[in-house]
Structure 1
Amino acid sequence: MEEKIFEINEENKGIRIDKFITDIMEGKSRSYIQGMIEEGYVLVNNKKVKSNYKLKLNDVIKTTIKEPVELEVKKENIPIDILYEDSDVIVVNKPKGMVVHPAPGNYEGTLVNALLYHCKDLSSINGVIRPGIVHRIDKDTTGVLVVAKNDEAHVKLSEQLKDHSMKREYYALVEGRLKKDSGTIDKPLARSKRDRLKIAITEDGKRAVTHYSVIERFKNSTLVKCVLETGRTHQIRVHMSSIGYPLVGDPLYGFKKQKFKDDGQMLHAKVLGFIHPRTGEYMEFSSELPENYKKLLENLRKDCI
């Protein structure tokens, strides 16, 4: 453990503590610092504070840096559909049924296990369980995501997520025929107090914004494009369900009786665009809908004839 002490002077008073620590701690994202504050690794006058605490004159800040934990997640020779790769980033097309990163009780068969076999280095910012993972998609959601190979790339990509400049477009097949051609859902999300497996719309949740537009209507369902302005857990699934059009096949937020045998929500991360963290060049990637998704759409079109 490495400890550092800082005393606040006139120049720094009034600044939020998460911003102050991010500015002085090189190579760490603001979200990482906020996690440190929440876990008690940043103290003000020997007391825990919130990330939005504004510094006062003569405040004494103590930061404790945890020693890196030796990675125990094992490398696995699992095939990965790589769309692009260089020394800073790797862009992959995640298949249905693959978990992005290990979790207690599930340390094998994940995208991280596969990446550790394929890559020499991944960023360390998100710790031993989620190396390189800047953003993630659900187990049964398919499509494009970007992984950081070093901490500098991770910080810059995370900043794009935070300021909403990263382009993320999803194709979602929802129950029912949407009447409006387009719309915006702006509803805050947080972990459900009734069911910890679910995310719910709550007044004290974090702001979540989804823009949607109709691509194609079928007899009893609609294919929509969802553009994420924010990226909360289960955002599209909860938002579409909240307006009465849950995703087809969604086991958590969808209809109890599903018309189709396919397991898991019909959601595909179609387009991902970002500024390359080293070159500053805008890059955009897209992936084809998986075969099961395309087959279902074909059957729905036949049903409309």
Structure 2
Amino acid sequence: MKSKFRSNNNSLTYTVKEHTELLPFLLEVMHNRSRNSVKSILTRGQITVDDHIETKHNYPLKPGQQVIVLKNKAAIKQDQLIGMSIIFEDKDIIVINKEAGLLSIATKKEKQQTVHHQLMEYVRQQDPQNRVFVVHRLDKETSGVMMFAKNEKTKRQLQDKWKDIVKERTYVALVEGKVTKPSGRIASWLKETKTHLMYSSPDKNGQHAVTHYKVLQSNNEFSLLEVQLETGRKNQIRVHMKDLGHPIVGDKKYGANGNPIGRLGLHAKVLSFNHPTTGQLLLFKADVPRSFYNKSK
């Protein structure tokens, strides 16, 4: 017996009972489907393991983990988006909670399984002329709060006055090792290599980046930090955690040794801003993944 089963209208939830890999697990619990059908469900991003989308066939499963399969019919419904949920929407903006494993925007390899593409499909169900516009991004493996504009005017306002409009951007980072200093400020000048790796430069001709952090909890192996951005540069938190000597869990690109939670240990917890049209101060939160707390207890 490898799983315990629960169902609702949109998804099937299985609790893993013994060590195995994702594809064999799915083939067993979805024994009425063909191997190709199960592979397609995996590839389309309809499988979530704990708190992240997983598409790797050989992803290792451990007892106690939850595997959620989004039903095909649910996946095409207006109210069921894959790998994200809408927190707030009005005529000008959409605020979502993105899962780890979902791209914000298209790449050369992936055009459709992105936040932007899904939201475009979503708003066009009301009116084929509707559009959504990218205002800021989260890395594929980062989860949490993201905002999109629903018209050109709002997009320009948000991008032109981003520093004035946005009042708080708070992340939670699970990092390697015990961070002994309870709080701190990291400032550097960020530059990019030809291979798109960001790094802190000793000279001042890069982009100035400032990050504030405080320790929420820690043990000898891991620390959970609350991180606030004073500036929003590409891969800023990831570089600054490496500079601190405590790379983000799962961030091999920036010096992490392992990946015990099966994803990048970075989550956009809070986004607070003045609404670009009404001026009203809004604050949106996305719950921190349980795995972050469990590892740093």
TM-score (ref. length: structure 1): 0.65
> Counterparts of 2:101 and 2:214 in 1: how far apart (Å)?
26
**1:22-101 to 2 correspondences below 5 Å:** 77=76, 78-79=81-82, 80-101=84-105
Is 1:148 the counterpart of 2:185 in the alignment? no
Q: Which residue of 1 aligns with 2:234?
A: 233
User: 1:296/1:89 Cα in 2 relative to 1: closer, same or farther (>3 Å)?
Assistant: closer
Q: Which residue of 2 aligns with 1:295?
A: 291
**Could you say what secondary structure the match of 2:253 adopts?**
coil
Supply the AA of the counterpart residue of 2:227: C
Please tell me the root mean square deviation across aligned C-alpha atoms, in Å.
1.8
Q: Which residue of 2 aligns with 1:209?
A: 210
Conserved? CA contact 2:142–2:265, under 8 Å: yes
> Counterparts of 2:285 and 2:168 in 1: how far apart (Å)?
11
| TM-fit CA distance, 1:106 | 1.9
Conserved? CA contact 2:101–2:140, under 8 Å: yes
In structure 2, list runs of 5 or more residues that go unmatched: 1-74, 125-129
Supply the AA of the counterpart residue of 1:258: G
Conserved? CA contact 1:208–1:230, under 8 Å: yes
> Counterparts of 1:270 and 1:237 in 2: how far apart (Å)?
16
Q: Which residue of 1 aligns with 2:258?
A: 258
Q: Which residue of 2 aligns with 1:286?
A: 285
Q: Which residue of 2 aligns with 1:243?
A: 244
Runs of 4+ aligned structure 1 residues displaced above 6 Å come to none
Supply the AA of the counterpart residue of 1:111: V
**Could you say what secondary structure the match of 2:134 adopts?**
coil
Percent identity over paired residues? 36
> Counterparts of 2:165 and 2:153 in 1: how far apart (Å)?
19
Supply the AA of the counterpart residue of 2:236: Q
Residue of structure 2 aligned with 1:122, choices 128, 131, 134: 131
Q: Which residue of 1 aligns with 2:180?
A: 179
Conserved? CA contact 2:165–2:276, under 8 Å: no
> Counterparts of 1:299 and 1:182 in 2: how far apart (Å)?
20
| Bigger proportion of residues as strand | 2
User: 1:229/1:160 Cα in 2 relative to 1: closer, same or farther (>3 Å)?
Assistant: farther
> Counterparts of 2:259 and 2:107 in 1: how far apart (Å)?
31
Conserved? CA contact 2:98–2:146, under 8 Å: yes
Deviations 1:126-160 (A, max 9, x none): xxxxxx11000100000001100011211222234
> Counterparts of 2:193 and 2:197 in 1: how far apart (Å)?
6
Q: Which residue of 1 aligns with 2:137?
A: 136
> Counterparts of 1:299 and 1:174 in 2: how far apart (Å)?
10
> Counterparts of 2:138 and 2:93 in 1: how far apart (Å)?
17
Conserved? CA contact 1:160–1:166, under 8 Å: no
> Counterparts of 2:122 and 2:241 in 1: how far apart (Å)?
36
Conserved? CA contact 1:164–1:229, under 8 Å: no
Worse-superposed segment, 207-216 or 164-173 = 164-173
> Counterparts of 1:200 and 1:298 in 2: how far apart (Å)?
30
Deviations 1:27-51 (A, max 9, x none): xxxxxxxxxxxxxxxxxxxxxxxxx
Conserved? CA contact 2:97–2:143, under 8 Å: yes
**1:103-122 to 2 correspondences below 5 Å:** 103-120=107-124, 121-122=130-131
> Counterparts of 1:167 and 1:110 in 2: how far apart (Å)?
25
**Could you say what secondary structure the match of 1:297 adopts?**
helix
In structure 1, list runs of 5 or more residues that go unmatched: 1-75, 124-131
User: 1:118/1:244 Cα in 2 relative to 1: closer, same or farther (>3 Å)?
Assistant: same
**Could you say what secondary structure the match of 2:252 adopts?**
coil
Conserved? CA contact 1:99–1:139, under 8 Å: yes
Conserved? CA contact 1:164–1:230, under 8 Å: no
> Counterparts of 2:262 and 2:197 in 1: how far apart (Å)?
18
Bigger Cα Rg? 1
Conserved? CA contact 1:91–1:145, under 8 Å: yes
Q: Which residue of 2 aligns with 1:190?
A: 191
